[in-house]
Amino acid sequence: MKKVLVLEDEAGIRSFVVMNLRRGGYEPIEAGTGAEAYVQMQAHPDIKVALLDIMLPDTDGFEVCRNLRAANPKLGIIMISAKSQEMDKVTGLMTGADDYVTKPFSPVELTARVDALFRRTGGESEGQSELQHGPFLLNTKNRTLEKNGERIRLTQVEYSIMHMLMDSPGKALSREEILSTVWGKEYAGELKIVDVNIRRLRIKIEDDAANPTYITTVWGFGYKWGF
């Protein structure tokens, strides 16, 4: 699971970030203060990327950045800046941040930055930037899918499911596992949403959606890639 710390004290912005990270296949770990961020980092040592807001109630993002960087040189750190002032960017990078985004930012921009950092921090190795199987080529850098060289347009959720499937060919994935990986743990129970997305994906990728040969059903359990 690809965990990302989200330190942001404004609840509205935090939930926006969290929702979009989930759509991108990440598991966001939330914190509203610097103190909470340290607790979460301790509780989740497998966090590979941290998003840090700068203006916080108990400290500032630069201080958190310095401390996290000192504790873990390999952690990917993205500063979330409210101002577009050059000073913030310079200060952020000087304190050890890898990247920064300026509010307001788009979901696409945010996910792209996190993806890039994940690759660089070894969350996803360079060798795995393309997954190929039969006529399919999944590019995890651009988050695109091609079948016989032709682009298939996928939603972020569909892409995330395809990535899960193609990453473990032949392995049965439970609907619960797909749900919690792609949507997040609090969606537990709404398993139909998985089936609906699989149905849509099959229409897009299968030769015959009524007789799927790529995304196959594991009765009473879930789905797998191939037979």
For residue 7, the minimal CB distance to Ca ion (Å) is 9
Could you tell me how many residues of this chain bind Ca ion (CB under 5 A)? 3
Question: Of 2-10, 67-75, 93-101, 116-124, which segment contacts Ca ion by CB under 5 A?
Answer: 2-10
Q: How many residues does the chain have?
A: 227
Q: How far is the CB of 9 from Ca ion (least distance, A)?
A: 5
Does position 9 interact with Ca ion (CB under 5 A)? The reply is: yes
> 165-191 as b/e, with b when 16 or more CB fall inside 10 Å?
bbeeeeeebebbebbbbbbbeeeeeee
Query: Least CB distance from residue 183 to Ca ion, whole Å?
Result: 26
Query: Which tokens belong to 219?
Result: 């009765």
63 part of the interface to Ca ion, by CB under 5 A: no
The structure tokens listed for 14 are 């935090």
Query: Could you tell me the smallest distance in angstroms from the CB atom of residue 56 to Ca ion?
Result: 6
Nearest of 48, 49, 17 to residue 32 by alpha carbon: 17
Give CA–CA dist 45/133, Å, rounded.
33
The least CB distance from residue 14 to Ca ion, in Å, is 9
**Which of 1-9, 31-39, 130-138, 193-201 is the region at the interface with Ca ion (rule: CB under 5 A)?**
1-9
Nearest CA to 30 among 156, 186, 188? 186
Q: Can residue 195 be called a binding residue for Ca ion (CB under 5 A)? A: no
**Toward Ca ion, which CB reaches closer, 60 or 195?**
60
Q: How far apart are CA 44 and CA 46, in angstroms?
A: 5
- Region near Ca ion per CB under 5 A, out of 33-41, 48-56, 147-155, 197-205: 48-56
Structure tokens, 195: 């089936």
Q: Which of 19, 35, 55, 191 binds Ca ion (CB under 5 A)?
A: 55
* Least separation in angstroms between CB 66 and Ca ion: 18
By the rule CB under 5 A, 53 interacts with Ca ion: yes
Output the residue with the shortest Cβ distance to Ca ion. Answer: 55
Per CB under 5 A, 13 contacts Ca ion = no
What strand order describes the sheet that includes 173-174? 173-174, 222-225, 215-218
CA atoms within 13 A on the CB side of 207: 6
Give the binding site for Ca ion (CB under 5 A). 9, 53, 55
